Amino acid sequence: MRLDGHGYSPARLQKIVTAAARLHSFADAAFALGLSGLAISARHVQQLTQEVGTALARARDEQAQRRRRQRSPRVATPEVVAVEVDGGRLRTRASASGPGVHKAENQEDKIACLVTLSNVEHAADPQPEPPPSFVQPRRMVRLVQQMAGQASEPLDATDAAAEPATDEAFPPTAIRDPHAEPWSPRRLVRTCVASMVNSRAFGPLMAAEAQSRDFYAARRRAFVADGCAYNWSIHRGYFTDFVPIVDFLHVVCYLFQASQAVEVESERWPLYWRWLRSCWQGRAAEVVRQMEDYQQRVGRPPPQEEVPPTDPRRLLAAALS
Give residue-wise pLDDT tens across range 269-281: 999 999 999 999 9
User: Residues 287-320: pLDDT tens digits?
Assistant: 999 999 999 999 988 876 677 888 899 999 999 9
**Residue 93 near residue 103, CB atoms below 8 Å:** yes
Of 64-68, 227-231, 254-258, which has the strongest mean pLDDT? 254-258
Name the pTM for this structure.
Answer: 0.72
Torsional sign, CA 281, 283, 289, 295: positive
pLDDT band at 73 (very low <50, low <70, confident <90, very high): low
User: Predicted confidence band at 169 (pLDDT cuts at 50, 70, 90)?
Assistant: very low
Q: Is the pLDDT of residue 176 over 60?
A: no
Residue 116, strand partner residues: 81, 189
Confidence at 137, pLDDT banded by 50, 70, 90: confident
Backbone angle region of 84, left / alpha / beta, with phi > 0 → left and psi within -120 to 50 → alpha: beta
With b meaning 16 or more CB within 10 Å and e meaning fewer, what string describes 73-92? beeeebebbbbbbbbeeeee
Q: What is the mean pLDDT of the chain?
A: 83
Q: Which residue has the higher pLDDT, 153 or 66?
A: 66
Q: Of residues 44 and 182, which shows the higher confidence score?
A: 44
Q: How far apart are CA 167 and CA 313, in angstroms?
A: 30
Is pLDDT above 90 for 254?
yes
**Is the pLDDT higher at 81 or at 64?**
81
CB atoms within 10 A of CB 234: 24
C-beta neighbour count of 52 within 10 angstroms: 19
pLDDT tens for each residue of 214-242: 999 999 999 999 988 899 999 999 999 99
Per-residue pLDDT at 223? 98
SS3 of 192, please?
strand
Check whether 128 has a pLDDT greater than 80: yes
Task: Return the higher-pLDDT residue of 7 and 243.
Answer: 243
Q: What are 23-59's pLDDT values in tens digits?
A: 878 888 888 888 888 889 888 888 888 888 888 888 7
Residues facing residue 115 across a β-bridge: 82, 190
Residue 179 pLDDT grade (very low, low, confident, very high; cuts 50, 70, 90) = low
CB 101 within 8 A of CB 134: no
Distance CA 245, CA 282 (A): 11
Q: Which residues contact 225 (CB under 8 A, 6 or more apart)?
A: 84, 85, 86, 231, 232, 234, 235, 246, 247
pLDDT at residue 38, rounded to an integer: 87
> Among 8-17, 89-98, 159-168, where is mean pLDDT lowest?
159-168
Burial status of residue 239 (CB atoms within 10 A of its CB: 0-12, 13-18, 19 or more): buried
Model confidence at 156: pLDDT above 60:
no
